[in-house]
Structure 1
Amino acid sequence: MPLYAPSPALRGRQLAADVGLLAWLVLWVVVARTVHGAVLALAGPGRAVEDLGASVAGSMSSAAQAAADVPVVGDELAAPFEALGSAGGSVGGAGQAAQDAVGTLATVLAVVLVVLPVGWLLLRWLPWRLGWVRDAGVARRLATADPALLAARALATAPLTRLAALPPGTAEAWRAGDPTATRALAAVELARLGLPADTLGRDERRLGLR
């Protein structure tokens, strides 16, 4: 099934819309990456706290081991250092938790910055593009099966300027079953969809339109 109209004008608009959507996506991906990196920079203090806690915990652990080697009172001397080591481990854990929170925030913001604007445009682009593919396919079938329906559609929805450009009396002739008027009105609807008039099908002889 064709994704683009044969008409250069409509095909150009479709291509421009597709390229615009792609550019919009790239733009917001770049913005999201920039914001993600900027937010991750806020994790610096958390890393510093984690490093400080690890350093304190390591130093106190070494001191506790040294104190434990003192005869008789080693256990009592080692206890305060072990407590300080435990406190240093808790500080390091808090620093890691802060980094995790910043990382989660950075990821959420990046996803939101891509999903919301791209989704907003996609909800407008997708129905238009898929709607044309559907309508063009139906119009091609009607062009061979029942051009009169295309003619009726043109009378109901075509711009007045397009209808006014038709020969005078076209509507009356169509109502009277004139094949030339039916073909002219059907061609207006096909042109709206960017389809050439020769889409009016190979079964026109059977339908009496040639």
Structure 2
Amino acid sequence: MRLYAARPDRRLGQVLADAGVLGWLVLWVVVARVVHGAVLVLAEPGRAVEDLGSSVADSMGSAASAAEDVPVVGDELSSPFDALGEAAGSVSGAGQAAQDAVGTLATVLAVVLVVLPVGWLVSRWLPWRLRWVREASAVARMSGGPADLELLAARAVATAPLPRLAALPPGTGAAWRAGDPAAVRALAALEAGRLGLRLPGSGPDAGTGATATPPSRSG
């Protein structure tokens, strides 16, 4: 499986596109981490409320224990302290709940900040790259014999831009119809060049159609 083109300019574009996607991912991961940390700052009041509630609950528990030691009226004296301790425990739980909510919000925001922009770009980049890999792999499989080169040549005739076809040596179309191997190879190289590939045994400029050997004219 081929991942990059043989032609330097096409390969450079692919490498830059891949690097751009990776850089985009890193950028949004960094942004998500910053936002996650900033949102977690909002949990500080909840933490303070939790600490205050725990401190009051401990104090009320100690006071209730001391009041219970008073003869005769110990139970009556300790009851208000017990009630205050339970209320303080509820305040502490509310502080913990607030921290949990802020933590969940920070995590959700961080995930969204990564998934949405990165997913948007990958949904456009990945099909483009996969399509090129599939087509490049097909060209590689079809470059091994004359019969397959005929298919590549036929595709070039059907789909290549007219300026690219006009740049071929004069008489290429007629020679291709006559089965001239040089014309077939020139057109096949044109189709391979569309993907930035070169046919086996071709020189550095093969695949552009500009330097193909002029085909011999047949009947």
Report the TM-score when normalising by structure 1.
0.91
**Could you tell me which residue of structure 2 aligns to residue 172 of structure 1?**
174
Q: What's the Cα RMSD here?
A: 1.5
Pair 1:16-2:20 in alignment: no
Q: Which residue of 1 aligns with 2:212?
A: none
In 2, the alpha carbon distance for the partners of 1:128 and 1:42 equals 42
- Pairing 1:1-210 to 2, within 5 Å after superposition: 1-145=1-145, 146-198=148-200
Using the TM superposition, name which of 98-107 and 46-55 deviates more: 46-55
User: Structure 1 CA distance, aligned partners of 2:102 and 2:177?
Assistant: 71
Partner SS, residue 182 of structure 1: helix
C-alpha distance in 2 between matches for 1:101 and 1:82 = 29
Q: Distance between the aligned counterparts of 1:147 and 1:48, measured in 2? A: 75
Q: Deviations along 1:145-174, whole A, 9 cap, x unmatched?
A: 411111111122222221110123322322
Superposed displacement of residue 135, structure 1: 1.0
Separation (CA, whole Å) in 2 of partners of 1:157 and 1:41: 59
Distance in 2, matches of 1:199 and 1:101, equals 65
> What is the match of residue 204 of structure 1?
none
SS of equivalent to 2:200 = helix
Q: Structure 1 CA distance, aligned partners of 2:162 and 2:35?
A: 50
Native 8 Å contact 2:143 2:200 kept in 1? no
- Secondary structure, aligned partner of 1:144: coil
Once structures 1 and 2 are overlaid, which stretch shifts more, 151-160 or 83-92? 151-160
CA distance in 1, matches of 2:35, 2:124: 26
Larger CA deviation: 97-106 vs 46-55 = 46-55
Q: Displacement, 1:4?
A: 1.4
Q: How much has 1:7 moved relative to structure 2?
A: 1.1
Secondary structure at 1:197 match in 2? coil
Query: Matched residue of 1:195: which SS?
Result: coil
Percentage of pairs with the same residue: 73
Gaps of 5+ in 2: 203-214
Where relative contact order (Cα < 8 A, 6+ residues apart) is larger, the structure is: 1
* Greater alpha carbon shift after TM alignment, 189-198 vs 15-24: 189-198
The alignment of Structure 1 onto Structure 2 pairs a total of residues equal to 201
Contact 1:42 1:102 in 2 (8 A): yes
- Structure 1: any 5+ residue segments left out of the alignment? 201-208
- Tell me the secondary structure at the aligned position of residue 144 of structure 2: helix
For residue 193 of structure 1, report the CA deviation from its aligned partner: 1.3
- For residue 199 of structure 1, report the CA deviation from its aligned partner: 5.6
Q: Which moved more, 1:92-101 or 1:45-54?
A: 45-54
Distance 1:156 1:101 in 2: 61
Contact 1:140 1:199 in 2 (8 A): no
Q: Comparing both structures, which one devotes a greater share of its residues to helix?
A: 1
